[in-house]
Amino acid sequence: MATLELSIQDEATAEPVRRRRKLGVLFWLASAWLAIILALAILAPLLPLQNPVDMDMLERRAAFSSEHWLGTDGLGRDELARLIFGARVSLTVGLIAPMVGLVFGGALGLLAGYFRGRFETLVVGSMDVLLAFPPLIFALAVTAYLGQSIPNLTVILGVLGIPAFMRVARAATLTLARREFVIAAEALGASHARILFRELLPNVILPLLAFFLLGVAVTIVVEGALSFLGLGVPPPMASWGSMIGEGRDSLDVAPRLAFLPAAGLFLTVLAFNLVGDTMRALTDPRQGAL
Amino acid sequence: MPLLTIEDVAVELPTPRGNLRAVDRVDLSLEAGRTLGIVGESGCGKTMLSRAVLQLLPKKAKLTGRVMFDGVDLVRLDSERLRQLRGRDLAVVFQDPMTSLNPVLTIGTQLMETIQEHLELDVAAARARSIELLAAVGIPAPEQRLAQYPHQCSGGMRQRIAIAIALSCEPKLLIADEPTTALDVTIQAQILDLLAREQRRRHMAMIIITHDLGVVAGRADEVAVMYAGRVVERAPTPALFKRMHMPYTEALLAAIPKLETAPHTPLPAISGRPPDPTRPLKGCSFAPRCRYAGARCHEAKPELKAAEMPDHLYACFHPIPVTEEVGA
Amino acid sequence: MMQMAVRDVPLLNVDDLVVEYGLGNKTVHAVSGVSLQVARGETLGLVGESGCGKSTLGRAVLQLRRAKSGRVLFDGEDLTAMEGEALRKMRRRVQLIFQDPIASLNPRRRIGDIVAEPLIIAGVKDAAERKHRVHDVLAAVGLDPDLVSGRLPHEFSGGQCQRICIARSLVLNPEFIVCDEPVSALDVSIRAQILNLLEEMKARFGLTLLFIAHDLAVVKAVSDRVAVMYLGRLCEVGPSEQLFAKPAHPYTGLLLQAIPVPDPDVRPAESVATGEPPSPIAPPSGCRFRTRCPRADQRCSAEIPELREVAPGQFAACHHPLA
């Protein structure tokens, strides 16, 4: 079969499509901002900062100075130190809470979408119950019984995120599980665990990660809102949300006290969204094909 | 004067890998009441060419050349005039009737919308005409169908409905882009018959775009074979099948499994793949896969021109001799 | 019910298989009592229109859809009675190739891993051994192993992806492959390449094939025998040449007539096919083809026709077979 020999050569030497994509300036700016914020937050105790909870009643709402670079707040605490220590709290809650949602919601969604049947009904039903429960009441109830602390706050926000992650994972799994490559694996005699981990998970994880980054942004904002309502971190500890809340009292005399943490929050959330979108576009193999 | 004349049309699409020349200097013409078959494999530019006629190219695409339809150049027509022309004088039937019909509107709404838009009929008249059309395309119980949604119909039924919508305003030209590729072979025969019957009755011109030479063999007056964006052979159907000159046409026909051949006969496959459209070859695009190719084929592009017969054009330096018996 | 052609014990014996599944609150009668045999080394073509249950039958053979009743005997063992580990072991001897080659490759895994996957599942621990076998099988299907192993599926064309799928199905040295419309999604020129490749692989690896397609000419090109299916039942089974030359079932005749012939002198017969297949949710009584059959009468709606031998090796299920 001469034709086949020829085709072997041709097919083998044909250079498959390769893709190149530029990441853009915005992506790098956003990444740089996140890197700086993360570094500051992690290294905060080592930095030559003033104690964020030391009050100086003589220097309330002081302006920018060489001693207090960003001035002081209503109780005379160093604003820069509070911002950086606040970032620690906001980022801890903002990253860990969606991770709880990602792990539990993702796993439940993957299993529900793959096994279907009664298990799926049970998972979807219980998630609907969780969704129907007013989140604020839930947060109030937990903090009332267990007390106000960062771990409690993280768990509350994490649990509230589970239904959404479950839905994203289940929807992705439902469409993927019908694809031929999954049936092919089944036909090869692959175990359920192998199909879940090798065939489905790598495909489901991307929409989940993109959703995770959105979740980070949302959680930071929600933590701010809860702190603003007095349900967040216990004072005198700083978080961006609680700082905005405290700055509200002096909006007319020192608007920067609310504006600075708000700007930090805004830029960080924006950066997470930008990086998230770019990462998703970058790792989608279908987009690269001609 | 022909109804449709495509003059020196080229379509370029910018891609991340460079410019993709989807259609490369194509000339075609079609008289009223005649059928032109455009045959080629996926990626040969046949669909882009039809989009160029309809002026429905992607926004980024660059079109050069002229598309003269009924005395006007469609390329230079403003969008309002074009919109009036499309659907009324120029109609199209796509490959997948599921995606070309709107899933949330009833069949009646979609049919009557087109009719009312272009023919300025009142609701009752449009409804009567819709029923008449559905009956004409062979749909049983047309009145009841009007209230149904596309997903309630089978693939063949949906394609009939798409044809009814295309025919609703008595177009002068119908472009059928792979109208039967998504359908079963028995339904394919019915749809092709339907198209041929309606064409004769309405004296409209038709372009059938397909990858299957078998589809155009008995149904087109003229066939144009496309490869890598260019028309490589064009002739009246009987002449093309009797005395094909272009090795690609021959190879394409030979690669189709035939009912006459005994089982387990190796098929004369065309080796390799079509060239990368973003990396045009200097010579003939088919040369790397052609068994007749010589040194010249890799150096220069053969022009599409006629030899013995004035209406039989081909682009080849080493045409298949006329005496050779080709085909099945 | 049906005797074997001339050969010995069949490798695959499907016995009165019934597959039904729910769709909303309705039941789809996808396969309603199909019996067929495939001898070792043979290619059986299975043709029919979309929705006739041919793909479901193919998947039921591999137990990807469980049968409601009936048996699937592979090399004498009943697959329908198997569960868990025994079934997984058996599946390594039976493989499946799909219609959409691109969708049947995981978009996020490299070609080398995809083709090695069956070996890992089968418990081949030695990485060098796996690499060696992947290399061999990729070369066998006409791809350069060093060039393709590290790449992702989207970098390849449909034809190349189908070669990769064939490589994956061959890497465990199976005995039987179900090809579910393997060339329907491919262009004419690539289609011929893949059909030739399948034939070559069949000879080289000593395979037995169940070749499912809707295109009669494609089926004839590769099959020793052909089975024609309509709405969940078999209409006709017979040796390819004989069945195509002298179809006994009116449906086979209709399918043959509907094929477009690439010859302008052959005028297409006007409207050979009457109507469309009814829904498998509520199939007609008696002979399921009777609603479209020009020869149908009272008896066809009352009595289900059995497969009967109409010529040596050729069986048809029809009360009024074509002469």
ipTM: 0.83
Residues of B with CB below 8 A from C218's CB? 257
| CA dist., res. C55 & res. C65, Å (int) | 10
pLDDT at A41: 85
**Helix, coil or strand: residue B113:** helix
- C77-78 and C26-38 beta bridge pairing: unpaired
Encode burial over B194-223: b for 16+ CB neighbours within 10 A, e otherwise. Answer: bbbebbeeeebbbbbbbbbbbbbbbbbbbb
8 Å CB contact of B255 and C221: no
Query: Who has greater pLDDT, A111 or C185?
Result: A111
Nearest-Cα distance to chain B for C276, in Å, is 7
Residue B192 reports pLDDT greater than 50: yes
**Helix, coil or strand: residue A135:** helix
Residues of B with CB below 8 A from C225's CB? none
- B62-69 and B4-15 beta bridge pairing: antiparallel
Q: Which helix (H) or strand (E) holds A12?
A: helix A2-13
Residues of B with CB below 8 A from A16's CB? none
pLDDT at A284: 64
CA distances to A43, B6, C14 from C3, in Å: 82, 61, 12
Residues of A with CB below 8 A from B269's CB? 3-4, 7
| CA dist., res. C166 & res. C150, Å (int) | 18
pLDDT at C272: 54
Lowest mean pLDDT among A1-5, A110-114, B228-232, C177-181: A1-5
Encode burial over C110-124: b for 16+ CB neighbours within 10 A, e otherwise. Answer: ebbbbbbbbbbbbee
Kindly give, in sequence order, each residue whose CB lies less than 8 Å from that of residue B4, ignoring residues fewer than 6 positions away: B28, B29, B30, B53, B67, B68, B69, B70, B173, B205
Asked, as a colleague might, if the bond just before B321 is cis with ω within 30 of 0, I would say no
Whose tokens are 């060339």? That residue is C183
Q: And the tokens for C117?
A: 């996957």
Q: And the tokens for C23?
A: 């769709």
CA distances to A93, B106, B286, C21 from B245, in Å: 74, 49, 14, 53
Q: Is A252 on the interface with C (CB under 8 A)?
A: no
Residue (of B175, B216, B231) closest to B7 by Cα position: B231
Burial class (CB in 10 A: 0-12, 13-18, 19+), C204: exposed
| CA dist., res. B73 & res. C67, Å (int) | 61
Beta bridge partners, B208, equal B37, B176
Nearest-Cα distance to chain C for A45, in Å, is 42
pLDDT at B103: 82
Chain B contacts in chain C segment 63-82 (CB below 8 A): none
| Nearest CB neighbour to C105, from listed A14, A181, A190 | A181
Q: How confident is chain A (290 residues) per 10-residue block, as mean pLDDT?
A: 35 43 79 90 79 71 71 74 85 90 94 90 90 83 83 89 93 88 85 89 87 83 77 77 77 79 86 81 53
Task: Label residue C257 by pLDDT band (50, 70, 90).
Answer: confident
Q: Return the number of other C-beta atoms located less than 10 Å from residue A122's C-beta.
A: 12
Residue B247 reports pLDDT greater than 50: yes
- Cα angle value B236/B65/B315 (rounded, 5°): 40
Task: Label residue C39 by pLDDT band (50, 70, 90).
Answer: very high
Rounded to the nearest 10 degrees, what angle do helices A150-177 and A135-146 cross at?
140
Q: Is A18 on the interface with C (CB under 8 A)?
A: yes
Describe the strand order of the beta sheet including C26-38 as a list of residue ranges: C26-38, C12-23, C69-74, C77-78
Residues of C with CB below 8 A from A1's CB? 196, 200
- Which of C54, C55, C99, C187 has the highest number of chain B CBs within 10 A, making it the mutation to test binding with B? C187
Nearest-Cα distance to chain A for B271, in Å, is 5
Q: Return the number of other C-beta atoms located less than 10 Å from residue A201's C-beta.
A: 18
Residue C57 reports pLDDT greater than 90: yes
| CA dist., res. A126 & res. A159, Å (int) | 12
Q: What is the pLDDT of residues B35-69, one digit of tens each?
A: 999 999 888 888 889 889 988 888 888 899 999 99
pLDDT at B209: 93
Nearest-Cα distance to chain A for C233, in Å, is 24
Task: Label residue C24 by pLDDT band (50, 70, 90).
Answer: confident
Q: And the tokens for A144?
A: 């009332």
Alpha-carbon dihedral angle through residues B167, B168, B171, B175, given to the nearest 10 degrees? -40
- C12-23 and C26-38 beta bridge pairing: antiparallel
**Are C183 and C213 within 8 A, CB to CB?**
yes
Residue (of A229, A227, A213) closest to A165 by Cα position: A213
CA distances to B7, B93, B108 from B101, in Å: 32, 10, 12
Q: And the tokens for A182?
A: 């999954």
Describe the strand order of the beta sheet including C43-47 as a list of residue ranges: C94-97, C176-180, C208-213, C43-47, C225-230, C233-239, C314-316, C308-311
Residue (of B218, B234, B211, B180) closest to C262 by Cα position: B218
**Are C83 and C89 within 8 A, CB to CB?**
no
Tell me the mean pLDDT in the region C33-40.
Answer: 93
- C176-180 and C208-213 beta bridge pairing: parallel
Tell me the mean pLDDT in the region B299-318.
Answer: 88
CA distances to C58, C66, C209, C221, C286 from C30, in Å: 11, 12, 22, 27, 16
Whose tokens are 């309606």? That residue is B198
| B and C: number of Cβ contacts within 8 A | 139
| CA dist., res. C7 & res. C136, Å (int) | 32
CA atoms within 13 A on the CB side of B53: 29
Q: And the tokens for A49?
A: 């900062």
8 Å CB contact of B186 and C256: no
Residue C228 reports pLDDT greater than 90: yes
Residue type, C73: L
| CA dist., res. C116 & res. A185, Å (int) | 12
Residue (of A50, A60, A73, A52) closest to A256 by Cα position: A73
Q: And the tokens for C100?
A: 């959409």
CA closest to C150 among chain A residues: A16
What average pLDDT does chain B have? Answer: 86
Q: And the tokens for A224?
A: 């701010």
pLDDT at A1: 32
Query: Who has greater pLDDT, A111 or C155?
Result: A111
Q: What is the DSSP letter of A198?
A: I
Q: What is the pLDDT of residues B270-292, one digit of tens each?
A: 888 888 888 888 889 999 988 88
Residues in chain B: 328
Residue (of C208, C229, C244) closest to C7 by Cα position: C208
pLDDT at C201: 92
**Helix, coil or strand: residue B316:** coil
Return the percentage of chain B with pLDDT > 90, whole number: 21
Lowest mean pLDDT among B6-10, B143-147, C7-11, C315-319: C7-11
Chains contacting chain B through 3 or more C-beta pairs under 8 A: A, C
| CA dist., res. C11 & res. B49, Å (int) | 51
Q: Which helix (H) or strand (E) holds B38?
A: strand B35-39
Residue type, B20: L
B175 backbone dihedrals φ, ψ, rounded to 5°: -105, 120
pLDDT at B57: 86
Long-range contacts of residues A28-36, Cβ cutoff 8 Å, at least 24 apart: A29/A271, A30/A270, A30/A271, A30/A272, A30/A274, A30/A275, A31/A271, A31/A275, A33/A267, A33/A268, A33/A271, A34/A268, A34/A271, A34/A272, A34/A275
Residue (of C97, C24, C91) closest to C64 by Cα position: C91
| CA dist., res. A195 & res. A93, Å (int) | 33
pLDDT at B231: 93
Q: And the tokens for B137?
A: 């395309």
Rounded to the nearest 10 degrees, what angle do helices A201-228 and A150-177 cross at?
150
CA distances to A175, B231, B322 from B239, in Å: 49, 16, 11
**Are C97 and C165 within 8 A, CB to CB?**
yes
